[in-house]
């Protein structure tokens, strides 16, 4: 409890009859980089806006360091937001934009100048004070938006898909920089994105959401290696999801074969989903394969080849650095701890 | 550029109805007829600087400024209400606002006469309350009322069109950074709406300063404004030379104020009607 800074308690929110959040409970620890991840319409932005104070939940409470702030307006909350489209004030220059919050707090002009200079150095835009915000590139505007928020030294920074409008290269650089800034400042970041790779790269904790419900909370490693259900498995990285049947502890049947696995605790004979990551499938000589199949397509993806192997009526996606010829017969080998068994989602 | 020819009819129109009259006015304002033919003179312009005419000019500007000010004070909040993102039935509101503009300008002004005259509706209502009839008509107040009533939409619409384009995220960002709604208005909404205000002020002030129907009907001819002066010279006095000179002076004054406005607008990076 001690290090929890924000608690969402039984939060529900609906817009004109459609539920955006369904009885959500979540706590956010001090100084962590927490990412709300999910497809559009999953409720992640609504969650962020409720924490920022731009939306009021229909029911439930928002606690900040244990105090109820559900009805506190945004301008009285100790959080700042980096908006999706930056929302820089077009009639002010860079320095005026960054100084906006400080001026309202009544901080002395000389201090403001100093703080603006420091924060511009932090976001690698030293000397940009007098520039018009309209003359900046997307990446630069993004940094100014971040600078404008963190100069107020908020305890929590909310970021609503801040890198969505940037190109791939810039996005990768900014991911790295954001993480650096977060560690440097030691403040809590709550980050909203639909980009799983972004979430895995930066986060301490990932909250995967779908249809207003939290699917899984965990570290990037947990989420990737031990997805709780086939939605999470499918959304985070690529997966082969096949139907299977739980035989008994450590035994599961799929693709007309029985495999050893490491899972226990399902009902005997229970219908389950089997998730196997494409990079966990090994292609071997056909005689050694657990399953026998034929290569139907090969695509070069840069680091690896993506191959589709047809076997037992299933198209298996396989990632490998070595290539097989199309139409060549191959064997498939899967080790027991790469077979992830999940409750069937109905 | 291949379709250049489609602009020819308009160019002909422009020459016949804009350039030629302008040239004629300029011509009349600096020439006089003698038995030997035409002569050049600046006497008409000199005459305008007599106190009586300067007074007319001053009064025109004063009334136009007051009307513009009242339009701004009434119109800005009105535009804010219309531009409110949470307003339901916005289209109905905008329609209600525009409908009077579809009616003829003269009709609307005559309607005010029947409302305000000594035996009019307003005085009858006061009579019911045992208040003696008052002279609402034929004074400066009535003229200002007429101007405000007729020109208010020209103030509201440009401001509205600028306000509606302001990104809602900016207002949320201001709130997020600690600004309450008054500060948000002062630091974000107002500065961003300046181009609309300038357009509105221009579009109200220009017709207000040159109007002659409103002062004639609601001012009862007692309030000679610059528009009335020009009208009299052409229609009643027959002094086309002086009338033209006054027109030229007005044209120059309007061009100067347009220039000043335009300069401001450019600095504010535009967004108004023109």
Mean pLDDT of the region A266-281: 88
* Residues of chain A with C-beta less than 8 angstroms from the C-beta of B182: none
* Residues of chain B with C-beta less than 8 angstroms from the C-beta of A80: 176-177
Q: Sign of the CA dihedral B252, B256, B262, B263?
A: positive
Shared-domain flag, residues A65 and A175: yes
Query: What whole-number distance in Å separates Cα of residue B7 and Cα of residue A232?
Result: 63
Shared-domain flag, residues A118 and A155: yes
Query: What whole-number distance in Å separates Cα of residue A179 and Cα of residue A173?
Result: 10
Substitution target in A53, A74, A142 with the highest count of B β-carbons within 10 Å is: A74
Structural domain count of chain A: 2
Amino acid B271: pLDDT = 42
Contact between A104 and B177 using a beta-carbon 8 Å cutoff: yes
What angle is formed at CA B35 by the lines to CA B30 and CA B39, rounded to 5 degrees?
A: 20
Domains of chain B in start order, with CATH, are 51-267 (1.10.3720.10)
Q: Give the distance, in angstroms, between the CA of residue B251 and the centroid of all CA atoms in the same chain.
A: 14
Half-sphere exposure of residue A173: CA atoms within 13 angstroms, side-chain side = 11
Provide the β-strand partners of residue A59: A12
Shared-domain flag, residues A209 and A105: yes
Contact between A75 and B169 using a beta-carbon 8 Å cutoff: no
Query: What whole-number distance in Å separates Cα of residue A180 and Cα of residue A173?
Result: 11
User: What are the residues of chain B with a beta carbon less than 8 Å away from any beta carbon of chain A?
Assistant: 167, 169-170, 172-180, 183, 187-188, 191-192, 268-269
Domain range for residue A327?
238-343
**Pair type for strands A205-210 and A79-82:** unpaired
Q: Which of B169, B177, B269 sits opposite A101 (nearest CB)?
A: B177
Query: What whole-number distance in Å separates Cα of residue B54 and Cα of residue B45?
Result: 12
Mean pLDDT of the region A221-237: 88
A81 in B contact zone (CB under 8 Å): yes
pLDDT surpasses 90 at B176: yes
Shared-domain flag, residues A99 and A81: yes
pTM: 0.79
Q: Which of A171, A201, A230 is the last residue of a domain?
A: A230
Contact between A83 and B169 using a beta-carbon 8 Å cutoff: yes
Query: What whole-number distance in Å separates Cα of residue B239 and Cα of residue A79?
Result: 73
Amino acid B208: pLDDT = 92
* Shortest Cα distance, chain A CAs vs residue B178, angstroms: 4
Query: What whole-number distance in Å separates Cα of residue A1 and Cα of residue A33?
Result: 17
Contact between A100 and B176 using a beta-carbon 8 Å cutoff: no
- Residue matched to tokens 């990104």: B167
Q: Which of A230, A257, A278 is the last residue of a domain?
A: A230
Residue B74 pLDDT class (50, 70, 90 cuts): very high
SS3 labels along B138-189: CCHHHHHHHHHHHHHHHHHHHHHHHHCCCCHHHHHHHHHCCCCHHHHHHHHH
Query: What whole-number distance in Å separates Cα of residue A254 and Cα of residue A271?
Result: 10
What angle is formed at CA A339 by the lines to CA A335 and CA A341, rounded to 5 degrees?
A: 160
Residue B266 pLDDT class (50, 70, 90 cuts): low
Contact between A75 and B175 using a beta-carbon 8 Å cutoff: yes
Q: What is the CATH number of the domain that holds A249?
A: 2.40.50.140
Mean pLDDT of the region A267-294: 87
* Residues of chain B with C-beta less than 8 angstroms from the C-beta of A87: 167, 169-170, 172-173
Shared-domain flag, residues A248 and A332: yes
Q: Burial of A147 by CB count in 10 Å (0-12 exposed, 13-18 middle, 19+ buried)?
A: buried
Q: Is B129 helix (H, G, I), strand (E, B) or coil?
A: coil
Mean pLDDT of the region A159-180: 87
Shared-domain flag, residues A39 and A74: yes
Q: Which of A203, A230, A257 is the last residue of a domain?
A: A230
A to B CB pairs, distance under 8 Å: 61
Query: Distances from the Cα of A3 to the Cαs of A32, A50, A129, A158, A203, in angstroms?
Result: 10, 21, 37, 18, 18
pLDDT surpasses 50 at B272: no
- How much of chain B, in percent, has pLDDT values that exceed 90? 48
Mean pLDDT of the region A136-152: 92
* Residues of chain A with C-beta less than 8 angstroms from the C-beta of B176: 52, 54, 74-75, 79-81, 149
DSSP state of B7: G
Tokens of B114: 């029947």
Shared-domain flag, residues A52 and A83: yes
Shared-domain flag, residues A194 and A251: no
SS3 labels along chain A: CCCEEEEEEEEEEEECCEEEEEEEEEEEECCCEEEEECCCCCCHHHHHHHHHCCCCCCEEEEEECCEECCCCCHHHCCEEEECCCCCCCCCCEHHHHHHHHHHHHCCCHHHHHHHHHHHHHHCCCCCCCCCEHHHCCHHHHHHHHHHHHHCCCCCEEEEECCCCCCCHHHHHHHHHHHHHHHHHHCCEEEEEECCHHHHHHHCCEEEEEECCEEEEEECHHHHHHCCCCHHHHHHCCCCEEEEEEEEECCEEEECCEEEECCCCCCCCCCEEEEEECHHHEEEECHHHCCEEEEEEEEEECCCCEEEEEEECCEEEEEEECCCCCCCCEEEEEECHHHCEEEECCC
pLDDT surpasses 80 at A318: yes
Contact between A105 and B172 using a beta-carbon 8 Å cutoff: no
Enumerate residues 6+ apart whose C-beta is below 8 A from A102: A111, A112, A115, A116, A151, A152
Q: What is the CATH number of the domain that holds A142?
A: 3.40.50.300
Contact between A87 and B173 using a beta-carbon 8 Å cutoff: yes
A169 in B contact zone (CB under 8 Å): no
* Residues of chain B with C-beta less than 8 angstroms from the C-beta of A84: 169
Contact between B179 and A100 using a beta-carbon 8 Å cutoff: yes
Alpha-carbon Rg for chain A, nearest whole angstrom, is: 24
Shared-domain flag, residues A226 and A251: no
Contact between A148 and B177 using a beta-carbon 8 Å cutoff: yes
* Shortest Cα distance, chain B CAs vs residue A75, angstroms: 4
Provide the β-strand partners of residue A36: A192, A207
Residue A2 pLDDT class (50, 70, 90 cuts): low
Residue B273 pLDDT class (50, 70, 90 cuts): very low
Long-range contacts formed by A122-131: CB under 8 A, 24+ apart: A122/A147, A122/A150, A122/A181, A122/A184, A123/A147, A123/A177, A123/A181, A124/A177, A125/A94, A128/A94, A129/A93, A129/A94, A129/A95, A130/A93, A130/A94, A130/A95, A131/A93, A131/A94
Residue B124 pLDDT class (50, 70, 90 cuts): confident
Q: Is B40 helix (H, G, I), strand (E, B) or coil?
A: strand
Shared-domain flag, residues A134 and A250: no
> For the segment B36-52, what is each residue's pLDDT rounded down to a tens digit?
778 888 899 999 999 99
pLDDT surpasses 90 at B212: no
- The residue in chain A having the minimum alpha-carbon distance to the alpha carbon of residue B180 is A75
Residue A148 pLDDT class (50, 70, 90 cuts): very high
A96 in B contact zone (CB under 8 Å): no
A75 in B contact zone (CB under 8 Å): yes
Mean pLDDT of the region A158-170: 87
A87 in B contact zone (CB under 8 Å): yes
Asked if A341 and A263 count as a contact pair (C-beta separation under 8 A), the reply is yes
pLDDT surpasses 70 at B127: yes
Shared-domain flag, residues A202 and A318: no
What average pLDDT does chain B have? 87
Least confident stretch, A96-100, A176-180, B122-126, B130-134: B130-134
Shared-domain flag, residues A191 and A337: no
Strand order in the sheet with A4-15: A18-29, A4-15, A59-64, A67-68
pLDDT surpasses 50 at A6: yes
Q: Which of B176, B178, B183 sits opposite A52 (nearest CB)?
A: B176
pLDDT surpasses 80 at A233: yes
> For the segment A69-104, what is each residue's pLDDT rounded down to a tens digit?
999 999 999 999 999 888 999 999 999 999 999 999
Amino acid B174: pLDDT = 95
pLDDT surpasses 50 at B260: yes
- The residue in chain A having the minimum alpha-carbon distance to the alpha carbon of residue B190 is A91
């Amino acid at each position: 409890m001690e290090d929890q800074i924000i608690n969402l308690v039984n939060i529900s929110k609906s817009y004109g009859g459609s539920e955006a959040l369904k009885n959500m409970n979540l706590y956010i620890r001090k100084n962590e980089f927490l990412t709300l991840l999910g497809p559009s319409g999953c409720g992640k932005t609504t969650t962020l806006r409720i924490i920022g104070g731009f939306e009021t939940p229909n029911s439930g409470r928002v606690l900040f360091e244990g105090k109820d702030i559900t009805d506190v307006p945004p301008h009285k909350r100790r959080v700042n937001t980096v908006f999706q489209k930056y929302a820089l004030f077009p009639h002010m220059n860079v320095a005026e934009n960054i100084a906006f919050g400080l001026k309202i707090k009544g901080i002395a002009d000389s201090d403001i100048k100093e703080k603006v200079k420091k924060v511009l150095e932090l976001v690698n835009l030293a000397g940009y004070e007098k520039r018009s915000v309209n003359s900046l590139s997307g990446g630069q505007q993004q940094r100014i938006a971040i600078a404008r928020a963190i100069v107020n030294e908020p305890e929590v920074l909310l970021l609503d898909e801040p890198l969505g409008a940037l190109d791939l290269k810039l996005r990768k650089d900014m991911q790295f920089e954001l993480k650096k800034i977060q560690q440097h400042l030691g403040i809590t970041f709550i980050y909203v994105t639909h980009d799983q790779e972004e979430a895995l790269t930066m986060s301490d904790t990932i909250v995967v959401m779908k249809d207003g419900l939290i699917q899984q909370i965990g570290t990037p490693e947990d989420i990737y290696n031990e997805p709780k259900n086939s939605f999470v498995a499918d959304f985070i990285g690529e997966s082969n999801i096949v139907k299977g049947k739980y035989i008994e502890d450590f035994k599961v049947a799929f693709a007309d074969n029985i495999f050893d696995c490491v899972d226990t605790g399902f009902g005997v004979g229970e219908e389950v989903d089997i998730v196997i990551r494409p990079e966990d499938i090994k292609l071997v000589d056909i005689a050694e394969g657990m399953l026998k199949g034929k290569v139907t397509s090969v695509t070069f993806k840069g680091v690896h080849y993506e191959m589709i192997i047809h076997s037992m009526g299933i198209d298996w996606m396989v990632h490998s650095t070595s290539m097989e010829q199309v139409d060549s017969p191959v064997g498939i080998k899967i080790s027991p701890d790469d077979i992830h068994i999940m409750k069937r989602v109905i | 550029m291949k379709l250049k020819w489609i602009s020819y009819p308009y160019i002909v129109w422009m020459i016949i109805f804009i350039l030629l009259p302008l040239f004629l006015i300029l011509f009349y304002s600096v020439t006089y007829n003698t038995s030997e033919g035409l002569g050049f003179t600046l006497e008409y312009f000199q005459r305008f600087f007599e106190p009586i005419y300067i007074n007319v000019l001053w009064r025109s500007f004063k009334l136009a400024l007051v009307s513009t000010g009242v339009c701004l004070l009434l119109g800005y909040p009105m535009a804010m209400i219309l531009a409110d993102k949470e307003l339901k039935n916005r289209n109905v509101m905008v329609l209600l606002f525009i409908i009077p503009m579809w009616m003829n300008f003269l009709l609307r002004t005559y309607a005010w006469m029947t409302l305000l005259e000594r035996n009019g509706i307003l005085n009858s209502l006061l009579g019911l309350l045992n208040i003696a009839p008052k002279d609402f008509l034929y004074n400066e107040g009535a003229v200002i009322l007429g101007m405000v009533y007729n020109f208010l939409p020209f103030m509201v619409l440009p401001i509205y069109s600028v306000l509606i384009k302001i990104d809602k995220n900016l207002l949320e960002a201001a709130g997020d950074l600690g600004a309450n709604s008054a500060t948000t208005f002062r630091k974000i909404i107002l500065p961003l709406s300046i181009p609309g205000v300038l357009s509105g002020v221009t579009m109200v002030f220009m017709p207000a300063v040159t109007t002659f129907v409103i002062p004639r009907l609601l001012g009862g001819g007692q309030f000679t404004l610059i528009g009335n002066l020009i009208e009299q010279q052409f229609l009643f006095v027959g002094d086309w030379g002086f009338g033209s000179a006054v027109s030229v002076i007005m044209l120059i004054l309007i061009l100067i104020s347009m220039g000043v406005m335009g300069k401001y607008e450019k600095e504010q990076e535009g967004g108004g009607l023109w």
